[in-house]
Structure 1
Amino acid sequence: MKKIIFWLNLIIAITIFSKNIDINFNVPKGKVLFYKYGDENTQEALFYNGHISLNLDDKEYSFLFSTSGYPIIEKNINIKEATSPININFKRSDTVTVKGNIKNGELNIGGAQITFMDSENHGYNFSTDLFGNFTAYIPKGNYRVYVDKTGYSLNKKNAIVYQFLNPARSYNLDLNLKELPSFVKGQAIDENGNSIPYPEVSFKIGTDIVKITGDEFGMFKLNVNPGIITILCEKEGYTQNGTVRNIEKDSSITNIEIPLTRVRATISGIVTDGIRPIRGARVILRDNDFNKISSVKTDENGFYEFYKIPSRKDVFITVMDNNKVLKRSENFNLENDIKNFNLILDN
């Protein structure tokens, strides 16, 4: 019984709240864009043989009808009140013809989309053929022109208002695009995935080498020409590392991560009073700013070791006893492992 009621309700809903609308056109094929007031999404349908049939709710719809060679037609139609069929006639009265070509230098740009935008923000879209040619039919008026083609942008001198006001004449519009440079973008990170601030980054492009400094987040970016590029990252205290990438035309790479490994060194030796080893002495390694890097205690043989300390910096060692400095070494640069760095206490 429940199933019967469900289907009856569905049939009633379809009968009352929707109906088929036939739309006839005076051209064989084209496109229909439509949306119901209150909806967020626009629907699209193609018509052939000058006809299309749509099943629509009894609501008010906004339509855009388009076909090649004619201006777009906009209509608001209340489906509940509409009589089927609806006749749509594309016309060229008060229509201006604009012919032109799109190039980059001497290169014809095929497959570019050119948009004519009027003062009421109505856009009319057309595409260039294989040779960069286009023919646009638009209502007479004033227009700004936009071109969409991956890897290119419209030359600024073409960013003006064009007046196409006389339907009796054909206008010519040749546009020049400038090629957008490809770019590489990446980040220097450490072994733990943390950013390394201000890395020195070298780019080898052919025989040319360009050097830049990354930002505080380790990010770097450079505009490059297509081809093989070698990227090398360096940072004091880290081993250098790099990568090689092939940059294709009209493309960029934005997700490069170059991991750098911190250079580390080991210091070891014996603390002694000149005769016997000192057991349990506190040995502290500090940098030039007196920041503590590491602290250890000597074993029964007076032996100490700072293991795998970040290197390539100036450091010094103190031997402490109850907050009293028993020995302070000279400053030295920690670049490699140091053995037998023995500390003889002052008498």
Structure 2
Amino acid sequence: MRFKLFLCFILAFSLSLFGENKTITISGFVTDKEFRLGDATVCFFDSSNRVNCVKSGINGEFSIELPKNKYRITVKKDGYTSLVGDNFFVDYIFDPPERLVLNMTDNKIAIYGKVINNFGEPIKDAQVKVKIGEELLDINTNSSGIFFFQGHVGLISIFAQKSGFYGNGVSLLIQNEKFINDISIALEAKTFYISGALVRGNNYLKDVDLELINGSNNKIIASIKTSKDGLFEFRDILNYEKAYFRVPSLGFKSKTFTINKDLRQFNIFTD
């Protein structure tokens, strides 16, 4: 009799084990806090790194049946970034599943920046090259040195350049920002050296005022006196499309020339 009771107990215990539910149904929705997001991919990684994924429906809802386990959850959707990150864990070994709310954010951003020179003045028509992931953009600054583009979160590289300046750039790792307007890229102007002698006939003109003039607006770039040997040198001269020399005391004006490199032994003949 006791043996029969023991067999009945073992049989009942076995049936309870076989009857225990080994799986669970996990459900929830994906949202950007304003709207439910469909077509998002929700993945569950177990302790052995096996993965099961499900897509959210048009109303952001998802449901999946999985074995009881501990899971790492990720959610991905084009144009969005997960706010739960890639290290969101749940433990369904003993605890019943609660409805999951997986928040995401639209990763589109608007970026304003400014390109300036050494003195903080805006540089118009500077070329700005932008790399966003694998996407490349070419834009120009406006008359106030401002550039603007739209992108998405992640690593963004910006490089500015213009003739007469050394190029410069910046890289940004943007995560949750929606609007950035404090980017400033300073370009250092290239400067050049001009030297030579002021000559009339067979004579070097000594202690004579010599002016270097901007050919575009006829404004003085720099002025000096020739040395006691009739020599001159201009240093740290910016790049100019056109320039010329003027000797006021002689009423002399040279031919125009371009300043885009060092000019040595640039003798001026006033005859």
C-alpha separation in 2, matches of 1:199 and 1:344: 37
Q: Does 1:191 align with 2:118?
A: yes
Question: Would the aligned equivalents of 2:107 and 2:176 in 1 still touch at CA under 8 Å?
Answer: no
Q: Measure how far apart 1:251 and its partner are.
A: 4.0
Question: Would the aligned equivalents of 2:166 and 2:187 in 1 still touch at CA under 8 Å?
Answer: yes
Q: Does 1:325 align with 2:243?
A: no
Please give the secondary structure, in 2, of the residue aligned with 1:103.
coil
Structure 2, gaps ≥5 residues long: 1-33, 42-58, 62-78, 81-103
Q: Which amino acid aligns with 2:262?
A: D
Please give the secondary structure, in 2, of the residue aligned with 1:102.
coil
C-alpha separation in 2, matches of 1:316 and 1:239: 24
* 1:1-347 superposed matches below 5 A: 102-107=35-40, 179=106, 181-249=108-176, 251-289=178-216, 290-321=218-249, 324-326=250-252, 328-346=253-271
Structure 1, gaps ≥5 residues long: 1-100, 109-130, 134-150, 153-176
Q: Percent identity?
A: 26
C-alpha separation in 1, matches of 2:203 and 2:170: 53
Give the root-mean-square deviation of aligned CA atoms: 2.9
Q: Measure how far apart 1:180 and its partner are.
A: 6.1
Q: Measure how far apart 1:224 and its partner are.
A: 0.7
Q: 1:185 to 1:288 in 2, by over 3 A?
A: same
Q: Measure how far apart 1:200 and its partner are.
A: 2.0
**TM-score by structure 2 length?**
0.58
Cα deviation digits, residues 38-86 of structure 1 (max 9, x gap): xxxxxxxxxxxxxxxxxxxxxxxxxxxxxxxxxxxxxxxxxxxxxxxxx
**RCO (CA 8 Å, sep 6+): is it higher in 1 or 2?**
2
C-alpha separation in 2, matches of 1:244 and 1:284: 43
Please give the secondary structure, in 2, of the residue aligned with 1:237.
coil
Please give the secondary structure, in 1, of the residue aligned with 2:204.
coil
Please give the secondary structure, in 2, of the residue aligned with 1:104.
coil
Q: Which amino acid aligns with 1:195?
A: P
Q: Which amino acid aligns with 1:314?
A: K
C-alpha separation in 2, matches of 1:213 and 1:345: 43
Please give the secondary structure, in 2, of the residue aligned with 1:245.
strand
